[in-house]
Structure formats: C-alpha cells, structure tokens
C-alpha cells in the first residue's frame, strides 16, 4: 500500500508536479461537506436538548471516543495515511470503516486532504487555508464549509489503497454509513440515542478535529522545529485524552511516520496503547517509533 513507503517521513500519496505550488489558490464553498456538517450541528443543537438522557449521553461518549480511537487515530491516521504499522487487511478494513463512520468524509478525501496540508506545511510558505493562519472564525468556516482550489496543485497516487474495492465503496457512500449505526441505536434507545449517537457525535468530531488542528498550528509547547518548514506545529496538552494522543502534534511533525505520538513522560497516547495491544495479540507488526526510524537531519530542538 502507499503507506508502506521506504521513507517513514514521506508524504505518501502526493506527487510533486512541475510548477506545483501550495501558495496560490482560492477558497470556494464545498456544498457536500458544508451541508453535511451544518446539518449534523443543527440536529445536535435543536434536537439534542429535547432528547437528552443519561443513556444518550453515555452513548455519545462511548461512540465518540471509540470511533476516534479505533477509526480516526489508529485506522485512518496511523495505518492508512502514514503506514506506521502493518496489520491483516481484514483488520485494516474494519478500522478504516470505523474511521469513515466518524463522519468527516471518505478515506480518499481524508488521505488527500491530510497529505496536501502535510506537504504544504513543509514548504517555506503556503496558503493561509493550509496554515490555519486566519482568525479562528474565518478558519472555522474555511475548514468545515469550504475547500481550497490551488492554481498549480500537485498530483496524487493512492496506490493499492485507491484500487481497493472496499475503500472505493466507502468513498462513494461515506454519508450513508451512518444509516446502519442510526438503525442500531434506534432499536437500542429510540431517537435520543440516534441524535446523540449520530448527530452530536459527528458534529463534535468534526468541530473538535478542526479546533485542535487550528490550535496545533498556532500556539502551544514545542519540543522540535523542522528546518525549512514554513509552518511549525505545537502540542495541545489538554486535548491529548479526547484526541487519543493526536494532540501531541509537535511530536507528529517531528516524526510523522511514528506509530507512537505521545513520546515523553506524561504524554497520554491511547492510540499507541491500542497498537501495542494489537502487537501483543499478533495483529500488528513492523511498528515504527522514532527509535526504529533513524535520525531525521532536519530536526532541531526547540528553545524553551
């Protein structure tokens, strides 16, 4: 798969084309994601208070945390995008399906969006959209309701991932994947479970992903600086638990191919703990960490 690239720090799916640039472009409305994100938020805000119950809140907490841990953090980010560990294909499919039902988009969109931003931030400069430079409200509208159309974009090659029939199916039907979830929740607890287990969960995941991403490129602690990168990352310590370790974003910029993101004492990383559990069970192997990746010459320690 494209994630199994020989360079553990590579941007795996992106291909630099002649004259491609991350700077020039325009931000345009993305109707599909905008209506989806807006509809989920409206459902949560309008119907959430009318259907709240201890059971519904418990469903929200369990499904949100479980989907972010298994799907978004381990399935999408650490396995599919970075290939930081290997596992059986059936397990990868399960984890990526869970990542899809987080509700942000399909696997191909997630890979391209991540890799474009990753590549752009490593350049000396990039568009404000890719750097989260604009004020928080503008950035919120841009990231959750718009897309960037670069004047000279790079190319993409998803490799085996792009040819996988299951992933192609998920990409076409990512919104519809909420239907079986909603049906099961309705049978368990009625409309309250549906509103809190689908609308509130998806909305919290989308907004939380944007908000932590915004902060992680604006302010916060740093251990490392990446030489030549126009955008440096920061850690967001308070978000380590709800993001399952993804909020140690400065560590991730320093060692993007590592399955472990919380690298230092006191840095909670449940995604890493789950991968360790898989490894113990014989379901994960070739697990990469900074110790196994070798020295990265572009890193310098950040000043306190």
Domain boundaries defined on the chain: 9-283
For 186-227, write each residue's pLDDT tens digit: 999 999 999 999 999 999 999 999 999 999 999 999 999 999
For 32-56, write each residue's pLDDT tens digit: 999 999 999 999 999 999 999 999 9
- Give the end-to-end CA distance of the chain in Å, rounded to a whole number: 39
Q: Are 170 and 104 in contact (CB under 8 A)?
A: no
Q: In the prediction, which pLDDT does 5 show?
A: 46
Q: In the prediction, which pLDDT does 6 show?
A: 67
For 234-259, write each residue's pLDDT tens digit: 999 999 999 999 999 999 999 999 99
């Amino acid at each position: 798969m494209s994630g199994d690239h020989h360079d553990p720090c590579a941007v795996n799916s992106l291909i630099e084309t002649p004259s491609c640039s991350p700077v020039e472009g325009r931000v345009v409305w993305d109707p599909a994601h905008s209506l989806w994100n807006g509809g989920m938020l409206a459902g949560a805000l309008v119907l959430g208070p009318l259907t709240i119950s201890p059971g519904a809140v418990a469903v929200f907490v369990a499904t949100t945390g479980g989907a972010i841990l298994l799907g978004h953090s381990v399935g999408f980010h650490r396995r599919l995008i970075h290939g930081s560990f290997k596992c059986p294909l059936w397990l990868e499919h399960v984890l990526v399906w869970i990542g899809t039902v987080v509700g942000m988009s399909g696997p191909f969109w997630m890979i391209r969006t991540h890799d474009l931003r990753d590549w752009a931030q490593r350049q000396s400069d990039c568009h404000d959209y890719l750097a989260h430079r604009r004020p928080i409200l503008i950035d919120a509208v841009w990231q959750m309701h718009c897309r960037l159309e670069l004047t000279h974009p790079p190319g993409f090659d998803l490799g085996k991932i792009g040819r996988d029939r299951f992933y192609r199916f998920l990409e076409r039907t990512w919104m519809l994947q909420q239907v079986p979830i909603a049906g099961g929740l309705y049978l368990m607890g009625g409309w309250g479970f549906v509103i809190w287990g689908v609308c509130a969960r998806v909305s919290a995941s989308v907004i939380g992903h944007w908000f932590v991403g915004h902060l992680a490129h604006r302010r916060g602690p740093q251990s490392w600086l990446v030489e030549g990168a126009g955008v440096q990352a920061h850690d967001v310590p308070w978000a380590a638990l709800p993001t399952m370790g993804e909020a140690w974003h400065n560590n991730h910029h320093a060692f993007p191919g590592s399955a472990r993101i919380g690298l230092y004492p006191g840095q909670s990383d449940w995604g890493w703990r789950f991968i360790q559990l898989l490894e113990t069970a014989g379901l994960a192997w070739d697990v990469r960490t900074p110790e196994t990746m070798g020295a990265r010459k572009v890193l310098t320690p950040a000043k306190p």
